């Protein structure tokens, strides 16, 4: 196990070799890569900030000394904070993404979901700053965060979406975003970079939503006798709840108003979700514009994957890492810690033991350095 840990840490060091050290060269006592490895391990093991990371490292000093140089011993909490404060988040993410790819192999991510999440307790009233809002891109089938961008407010999410898209390779992938991201320029950006989009149409495009509703209503009357349609239906039953999802996809009619304004627009989609619990039935209908060819099963994978981001990513960050309780005020520290949590979550989800909960896996990382090593080396290690 020690040999495998050393190999994993050496791999991590290689990917951070080119990362510029943001600290002053005067009185620089600790190696940058040592601090980064300690931060990764500390967050995996349950630490939630620089002080906890440093404390965890002190308690595991002998173990860390087997793999790190540590010329001046274990870095203090102030050293950990200064590193997290000065590292450029995007460069930090790029190195981590490369390391993760080396552990798991090419991701082959075909479905990328973009969504925003607010760190609710990260506000700083003294500096008149509201909570930090993160926009991240999530590979829905690999269950990995591939990149993120911070914004001061949720209202800035639209401008952050192209920035986070530029952090990852979207060529050949299907990008899904919530209704706020249903914008013509964003659709054009995705198509220009070689990707496809599936975007929900809601109140921000009232006329388009009404037009799509009319198209589907018209063809539902005669069960699509006048137009080709692709259909897919799923049924699920769990925890006393029965859920049905129906997906319909048609080619964009020539008569659809404004169709030429949407780059690459090929199909319109309709997703109908009905849920029955305790004898009561509820339903939801959502319309979509998409650059995909007509294939309802593929369309359904994209839609369903985006519906699951709240449970697979955001809920896990709050339940496993208690992200909503974080009180870190410094913006760069908060953003880099946020990325470390997402990165750690990805590693935990790659661990093959499906019987252990994510919370238990994180606890096990804190209890056992052998288990921590298993998570570090990845599912295929």
Residues 178 and 154: beta-carbon distance below 8 Å: no
Can you tell me the mean pLDDT for 81-106? 79
> What secondary structure does DSSP assign to 41-71, as a single string?
HHHHTT--SHHHHHHHHHHTHHHHHTT---T
Asked if residue 367 has pLDDT above 90, the reply is yes
Contacts of 216 (CB under 8 A, 6+ apart): 248, 250, 268, 270, 287
SS3 content of the chain, % helix, strand, coil (to 5): 50, 20, 30
Question: In the prediction, which pLDDT does 138 show?
Answer: 87
Asked if residue 78 has pLDDT above 80, the reply is yes
Mean pLDDT score of the chain, rounded to an integer?
Answer: 86
Please name the helix (run of DSSP H) or strand (run of DSSP E) that holds residue 320, with its range, or none: helix 315-320
| Nearest alpha-carbon partner for 303 in 246, 238, 237 | 246
269, two tokens = 């989609």
326, two tokens = 């974080």
For residue 230, list its beta bridge partners: 249
Question: In the prediction, which pLDDT does 61 show?
Answer: 95
Q: pLDDT over 70 for what percent of the chain? A: 90
Question: In the prediction, which pLDDT does 89 show?
Answer: 82
| Nearest alpha-carbon partner for 83 in 132, 151, 19, 10 | 19
Question: In the prediction, which pLDDT does 22 show?
Answer: 85
User: Which is it for strands 267-277 and 241-251: parallel, antiparallel or unpaired?
Assistant: antiparallel
pLDDT in tens, 208-220: 999 999 999 999 9
Asked if residue 238 has pLDDT above 80, the reply is no
Question: In the prediction, which pLDDT does 381 show?
Answer: 41
Asked if residue 77 has pLDDT above 60, the reply is yes
Neighbouring C-beta atoms of residue 277, cutoff 10 Å: 12
For residue 267, list its beta bridge partners: 251, 290
pLDDT in tens, 15-26: 887 788 888 877
Can you tell me the mean pLDDT for 68-93? 91
Asked if residue 379 has pLDDT above 50, the reply is no
Q: What is the pTM of this model?
A: 0.83
Worst-scoring range by mean pLDDT, 125-134, 223-232, 298-307, 310-319? 125-134
Comparison of pLDDT for 87 and 215, the residue scoring more: 215
pLDDT in tens, 289-310: 999 999 999 999 999 988 777 7
Asked if residue 249 has pLDDT above 70, the reply is yes
Can you tell me the mean pLDDT for 353-376? 91
Question: In the prediction, which pLDDT does 351 show?
Answer: 87
């Amino acid at each position: 196990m020690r040999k495998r840990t050393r190999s994993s840490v050496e791999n991590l060091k290689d990917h951070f070799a080119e990362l510029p050290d943001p600290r002053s060269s005067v009185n620089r006592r600790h190696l940058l890569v040592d601090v980064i490895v300690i931060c990764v391990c500390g967050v995996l093991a349950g630490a939630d900030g620089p002080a906890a990371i440093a404390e965890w490292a002190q308690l595991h000093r002998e173990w860390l000394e087997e793999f790190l140089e540590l010329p001046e011993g274990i870095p203090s909490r102030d050293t950990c904070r200064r590193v997290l404060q000065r590292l450029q988040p995007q460069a930090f993410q790029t190195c981590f993404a490369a390391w993760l790819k080396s552990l798991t192999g090419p991701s082959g991510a075909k479905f990328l979901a973009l969504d925003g999440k607010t760190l609710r307790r990260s506000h700083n009233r003294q500096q008149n700053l509201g909570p930090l809002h993160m926009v991240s891109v999530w590979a829905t089938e690999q269950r990995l965060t591939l990149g993120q961008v911070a914004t001061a407010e949720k209202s800035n999410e639209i401008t952050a979406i192209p920035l986070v898209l530029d952090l990852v390779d979207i060529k050949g992938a299907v990008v899904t975003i919530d209704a706020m991201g249903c914008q013509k320029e964003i659709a054009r950006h995705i198509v220009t970079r070689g990707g496809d989009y599936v975007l929900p149409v809601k109140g921000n495009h009232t006329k388009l939503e009404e037009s799509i509703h009319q198209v589907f209503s018209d063809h539902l009357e005669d069960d699509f006798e006048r137009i080709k349609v692709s259909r897919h239906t799923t049924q699920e039953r769990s925890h006393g709840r029965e859920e049905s999802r129906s997906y319909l996809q048609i080619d964009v009619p020539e008569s659809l108003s404004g169709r030429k304004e949407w780059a690459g627009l090929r199909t319109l989609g309709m997703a109908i979700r009905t849920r029955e619990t305790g004898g009561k039935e509820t339903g939801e209908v959502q319309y979509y514009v998409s650059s995909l060819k007509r294939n309802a099963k593929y369309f359904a994978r994209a839609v369903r994957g985006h519906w699951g981001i709240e449970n697979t990513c955001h809920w896990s960050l709050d339940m496993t890492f208690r992200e909503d309780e974080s009180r870190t005020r410094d913006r760069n520290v908060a953003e880099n810690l946020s990325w470390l949590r997402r990165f750690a979550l990805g590693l935990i989800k790659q661990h093959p033991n499906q019987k252990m909960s994510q919370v238990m896996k994180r606890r096990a990382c804190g209890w056992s350095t052998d288990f921590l090593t298993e998570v570090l080396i990845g599912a295929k290690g």
